[in-house]
Structure 1
Amino acid sequence: MTFDSTNQWLSCVYNDHSLYVWDIKDLKKVGKVYSALYHSSCVWSAEVYPEMKDSNQACLPPNSFITCSSDSTIRLWNMETSNIHGTALHRNILSNDLMKILLIDGNTQALLDTDCNCTGLVDKVDVQTLDTEAGIRSVCVSPNGQHLASGDRTGTLRVHELQSLTELLKVEAHDSEILCLEYSKPDTGMNLLASASRDRLIHVLDASKDYSLQQTLDDHSSSITAVKFTANDGKMRMISCGADKSIYFRTAEQIQAVRVCGS
């Protein structure tokens, strides 16, 4: 805590990393001057909401972005002062630039800073006893701005519909944390989602068919850190790289199901 003696304001940073500024001129009528709700642990990924040609099709207002963290939350932010449209979104009364907090696995313990001594004891709290591999590792927004895919540290893949924030898909896709998610762009002619993990696997799902699994690739010999789709020369390609210091280029072709062939 710190005190501003000139304005009689008391600023407090709490165990969940939230910031509050209190006006304590009158101790019988303490008022809040400012507050902000930040992530309580490391932020793993940030995704900017795509700019939509038709604003009526957008689920989030312009200049919005999305973050995910080890505190098991996905947070939707907007820095503009204009009104927020949409049925599920509104300005948070405690944080003006925050639109929504999605607590993914219901573990509120992850909202606390485990590095902080919460018990008042001399010894520091054992982080290992509190860490249950909670946390969201990666997020990705579909090109049409309708869906939000997220992957957590246990390998669970989720897809939320951004208009209503309902969960469309939850599947234990990997044996370890999902390090990267990537949607194919419209110019590729396909609507695919690739999830890459520390378990060395890439799953390719067809977003236009209820995210049905099309193919699993196991070329890499170590953790996969990035996946990208691209289209050129009339062909769609998927590029991936990993901790094995290799880059793979694959060409996709659409027969009855999508097939991603190595090259």
Structure 2
Amino acid sequence: MPRQVLAAYAVVALVAVVAMAWLGVVPGDDGAQRTHDSSATPTSSPSAPDSAPSSTSAPPSDDSAGTTPDAREHDSDAPTDPSASDTQPSVDTSDTSGNGDSGVEVLPTDPETTEGLPGLDTKPPDTKQPLIDLPLPDSAVAKDSLAKGFPRKVLGPRKKSAIVTSSVSPAADVNSLQVALVATTRAGADAVLRDYRIRLAKLGFTETDAALPVIGGSSAASFIRGDDTVVVTATPGADETTYTAYGTLHASGS
């Protein structure tokens, strides 16, 4: 081949190389053309957002559908063991009163707190039974003690009292006995009246609303039981209370 032809081919090849370099196109290792422009943006596609569900993700279950992550987190803390409810305190709704009212608990009666209170005795007293018996005692008066035949159970002094005088006076024609007591105590007048109210109520006496004449700040109460009558008066003093108990009691056959 003539040298002129070879020189022409060489010039054409050089021009081609220069043109390709100027265009930025070079043959690749696999024969495909690639661009090497360093200013070009990456050709790789942007990654999908993290929040986008993948095409292979399983659909949400019915239990978690419509539930926020916080709600699912709280649900996961809740006990799933059915036996956990056994630890909750139970309410006793059993009927302990015996009257059919379920759920109402009636506490047992404490005899120490109800003993001696008027009207709380389970068995009402027999008001027909006389409080004194025949034969009636003879008339008697005593100082600093109870007279012979004095009905202590009915009108005896309250505890921690000092007896001043006492007396008994029978009326044989009607089988009745008049009794009187004067005593002192350091308790207040209200406490004295309360003690006699309790005692007489247990014996079947009923307190009346009769207006009683009192003097010097005294307090008084009257009671009745059939034909029997009692009046108690309490007068407060500087250091002690002076009280009197006067009654008319009837024996059987009166």
Task: Flag whether TM exceeds 0.5 (same fold).
Answer: no
Category of TM-score, reference length = shorter chain: under 0.3
Structure with greater helix share of residues: 2
Instruction: Compare CA radii of gyration and give the structure with the larger one.
Output: 2
Q: Which has the higher contact order (CA 8 A, sep 6+)?
A: 2
